[in-house]
Amino acid sequence: MINSNFKVACVQLSTGTDIATNLPAVLELIRSAKDNGADLIITPEQTLLMANSKKQLFNQISYEEEDKSITALCDLALELNIFLIIGSLSIKIDDYRAVNRSYIINNNGKIIGYYDKIHMFDVQLESGEIYRESSTFESGKKISIIDIPWGKIGLTICYDLRFPGLYKSIATRGARFITVPSAFTKYTGSAHWHVLLRSRAIETGCFIFAPAQVGKHQNGRETYGHSLIVSPWGEILAEAIDDNPCFIIADINTEEVMNSRNKIPAWSYECDYDVL
């Protein structure tokens, strides 16, 4: 039987360039969120490492089966009796390539699903910032929808947010919730973050959980923050307004998904339009 009510927390981070330093801070915030009643806790994109360079990245990351930080996070989920979604980690797949991978861990400390970021952030912004994720990361090829005690949850990461077809595909396959762990740049976040997240919630009739990176990082990158929890009706239930690591928390009633979808059933409408 699916439970109707739970508490979700989104952890906001300002991740640095050393995994060994970053991990204890992440574990502490997860513990604090649990102490405040969270049943499901989600961390941002690149939870444990915002590297200076590809060389530094590959000097620190591991193959999945060798990654001690994953073991630590699984152990914590078991200890705290929580469901934990690690927004993403860089996971080595060979000596030159990695994947940007989300993990979902159950309250028994077991990984029950993962998702590799599909859409690579390959852009040159007007601010002069240049990003070429595809030079380091292998793009994912499949969507990921996992059963948790409160219903199905779909996993996405950051730049995926700009591709609404992905979100409709997740919703029409039964998801009630969608995660968007992110490291949005300050430049793009200030312009688009809120409107994109609220739009994805309204279009799909899903709760959107969006933990974010924030502030000026050791690698020089500046991220927007403003972690959000958004209802299926597009209401902001919680927002991180501090430019510091923290967490936000909200009460979730899963019945709101069907209530919103029944009011506006466009989320499931399929049509192949003719062209004049």
Of 39, 26, 24, 5, nearest in space to 249 by CA: 39
Which residues touch 25 (CB under 8 Å, ≥6 apart)?
Answer: 13, 245
Say if residues 211 and 161 touch (Cβ distance below 8 Å): no
Q: Which residues are catalytic?
A: 45, 117, 158
**With left for phi above 0 and alpha for psi between -120 and 50, is residue 81 left, alpha or beta?**
left
Which helix (H) or strand (E) segment holds residue 253: the answer is strand 246-253
- Owner of token pair 């912004």: 125
- C-alpha to C-alpha distance for 94 and 46, rounded to whole angstroms: 19
Angle of CA points 72, 74, 77, to nearest 5°: 110
Of 176, 182, 40, nearest in space to 102 by CA: 182
Proportion of the chain in helix, strand, coil states, percent, rounded to 5? 30, 30, 35
